[in-house]
Amino acid sequence: MSRKVAVLVGSLRKESYNRKIANALVELAPELEFQFVEIGDLPFYNEDLETETPPTEWARFREEIRGVDGVLLVTPEYNRGVPAALKNAIDVGSRPYGSSVWSGKPVAVISSSQGAQGGFGANHQFRNGFVFLGMPQLQHEAYVGFTASLFDENGVLVKEDTRKFLKDFTGKFAAWIDKHAA
């Protein structure tokens, strides 16, 4: 059974460790069909722009999310919280009121940092929003620390224990999607 998963990367940096983690998942989880949904071009949510013809970037984003079975966020932590670009994407997808593209979509979060805590604050900050949006969140937490040491010069994930952890995590997420399939 094919499971389409939207991947939203919270870091917009070209050499983002989060993007490298997300790219590694493609190899580690062949049972999931990952679709990277870009968020860097989304105008900040402003209800004044929510007209019959909202920004084309919003329409594109919403349509991409509508077409998936689950959502995976791979994110850093900025100032003990969620990066603005990722929070904006959540807001854009939740509007207009009553037309949220998130409702019922199983979701999982992998947070990371170059330090030891692995983006703990950002990971936990999502919980309230997911409950409000009706998104069943995988209760298996994924924190990836010391990200700078995980990849070789070509961006390949070389730490075997991290590979095993991420493979196990994506297996649990695939089962979670199946459990909550619409």
Report in angstroms the alpha-carbon separations of 55 from 7, 97, 172, 181.
21, 16, 36, 30
Give the model's pLDDT for residue 72: 97
Give the model's pLDDT for residue 178: 95
Q: Range of 154's domain? A: 3-179
pLDDT, tens digit (0-9, with 9 covering 90-100), for 142-156: 989 899 999 999 999
Give the model's pLDDT for residue 119: 75
Q: Which CATH number characterizes residue 142's domain?
A: 3.40.50.360
Give the model's pLDDT for residue 182: 60
Reply yes or no on whether the pLDDT at 108 is more than 80.
yes
Give the model's pLDDT for residue 79: 87
Give the pLDDT mean for 12-23: 94
Q: How many domains does the chain have?
A: 1
pLDDT confidence band for 1 (50 / 70 / 90): low
pLDDT, tens digit (0-9, with 9 covering 90-100), for 76-100: 988 888 999 999 999 999 999 999 9
Reply yes or no on whether the pLDDT at 176 is more than 90.
yes
Place of tokens 């983002």: 16
